[in-house]
Amino acid sequence: MKPEVHLVLVIFPIVVAVILSFYFFWSETQFLTIPTEATEIALVDSNCASCTNSLPYSVRAFLEAYNYSPNNLTFYLGSKEGNNLTEKYVVTALPSLVFPASALNGNSNLSIIISTLLYGNILTFNQGQEEFVLNTPFSSAIFGPIRYYSPLQNRIITSKDILNHTLVYGTTNPLERDVINPTTVVEEINASQLNSNNKTDIYFIYGNSPFSGLESLILRDALENFGSFSRNVTYYSSSINAGRLITFGPQLSYDLSASNYSSRYFQIKAYDISDLTDATAQELVAQYDQNLFYMYNTSGFNNFEPLIDIGGRYVIVSSPLKPYIFNGLNQSQIEKKLSENESLAFLFNRSVMFMDSLLCEYENSSQICSNPTVEKFSGEYK
């Protein structure tokens, strides 16, 4: 993908509207500003010595390879400065790293790298879009298993990225590879389990974006291997112009919250980000993506990257395929296109089977769990 297209793509997920104001001492604390003599602040936790400093140092070294030269400070959780920093940037996972967007001025190579990290959910913008914030759980996509402290859960968690694109898609065809989207799938080891009524909870938080719409198609197909939907409620997403030659959407989307899913094993809890009132869903958004708290115009809801949490253990951000493959098509037209386009059907079905492999970690009695491809994903993606 061309760099200018990449840069356009990452703007939309970050320019999202309306502040969800809860968590972290909102009322009386005076917000901290980054000192003019510093270009970077690391926020660390003395109770997580094994994870505190290594990640900021790794990120700093990674960016320095692209001519990033930080003048840095370190604050500690529990100190006045650290608490203020936590509040201002809604830091929900430590260690964290804050540096101003002005650090990119005049550095086109670094701008492209940062754009890629933003698109992969490794970094986010703060509410004023003047600073970048390290999004700790997703850093495992680059740096491997990450140990971090969650203020929301008040404990140390280990996470690792488990989506091996080569394993899942196994394609060298440039046209096929261009359809694959840089999705992040994180496994959180020893995370809190999400279940109710003796079933595993699946949280799907979405917006009116083509990314959310395409992910709803994949998730629905995966869930049908473990239950059934009694209703078929659909709508079309917004469209996103991603450069002069690329438009994402409108994408056929399933309203999973209104489709009455019945399963012995799972229950779907789907929430629109524009009306996110469920407390657990709010906490998931807070914990996994600070950026989602800061939505500045209503078009942000139309560009929201979907978030899926499976049982509190697996977290998926964005859709695994780029949402232009079904632009404007209805359900029968999508099915026809998949039946006629072998390459596209391969990629789509692989995405569904990878999702099923995560579900099979909770319940493997479904016939899909004995599918050789699903078994391969379950056995090798860890």
Select the more confidently predicted residue: 365 or 303.
365
Average pLDDT, the chain: 83
More confident residue, 104 or 157: 157
297-351 confidence digits (pLDDT tens)? 344 566 678 999 999 999 999 899 999 999 999 999 999 999 999 999 999 999 9
Q: Report d(CA 202, CA 34) in Å as an integer.
A: 38
Among 32-41, 287-296, 325-334, the minimum mean pLDDT is found in 287-296
Q: Is the pLDDT of residue 5 over 70?
A: no
51 or 277: whose pLDDT is higher?
277
Contact 149, 45 (CB under 8 A): yes
> Would you say residue 49 has pLDDT above 80?
no
Arithmetic mean of pLDDT, 141-149 = 88
What is the predicted pLDDT for the residue at 276? 86
pTM of the model: 0.85
Region 352-359 average pLDDT: 97
CA 206 to CA 318: how far, in whole Å? 10
Pick the residue with more confidence: 48 or 212? Answer: 212
Q: What angle do CA 178, 206, 126 make, to 5 degrees?
A: 85
> Over pLDDT 90: what percentage of the chain?
40
SS3 per-residue string spanning the chain:
CCHHHHHHHHHHHHCECCCCCCCCCCCCCCCCCCCCCCCEEEEECCCCHHHHCHHHHHHHHHHHCCCCCCCEEEEEECEHHHHHHHHHCCCCCECEEEEEHHHHCCCHHHHHHHHHHHHCCCEEECCCCCEEEECHHHHHHHHCCEEEEECCCCEEEEEEECCCHHHHHCCCCHHHHHHECCCEEEEEECCCCCEECCEEEEEEEECCCHHHHHHHHHHHHHHCCCEEECCCCEEECCCEECCCCCEECCCEEECHHHCCEEECCEEEEEEEHHHCCCHHHHHHHHHHCHHHHCECCCHHHHCCCCEEEECCCEEEECCCECCCCCCCCCHHHHHHHHHHCHHHHHHHHHHHHHHHHHHHCCCCCCHHHHCHHHHHHHHHCC
Indicate the pLDDT class of residue 57, thresholds 50, 70 and 90. confident
Separation between Cα atoms, residue 91 and residue 150, nearest integer Å: 9
Mean pLDDT over 64-71 rounds to: 87
Predicted local distance difference test score (pLDDT) of residue 175: 82
Check residue 301 and give its pLDDT: 60
Please give the pLDDT value at position 22: 31
At residue 17, the pLDDT reads 30
CA distance 158 to 31: 30
Average pLDDT, stretch 351-362?
A: 96
229/163 Cα distance (integer angstroms): 27
The residues pairing with 123 across neighbouring beta strands, listed in sequence order, are: 134
Mean pLDDT to the nearest integer, 33-51: 79
Q: What is the pLDDT of residues 163-219, one digit of tens each?
A: 988 889 988 888 888 899 988 899 998 888 899 999 999 999 998 999 999 999 999
Say whether pLDDT at 289 is over 90: no
d(CA 58, CA 251): 38
Per-residue pLDDT at 106: 79
Contact 93, 287 (CB under 8 A): yes
When pLDDT is averaged across residues 253-269 and rounded to a whole number, the result is 96
Res. 381 pLDDT band, cuts 50 70 90:
low
- What integer is the mean pLDDT of 273-283? 89
Report whether 147 contacts 156 (CB < 8 A).
yes
Position 28 scores a pLDDT of: 39
- At residue 121 the predicted structure's pLDDT band, cuts being 50, 70 and 90, is confident
Give the pLDDT score at 31.
Answer: 55
Q: 58 versus 311: which is more confidently predicted?
A: 311
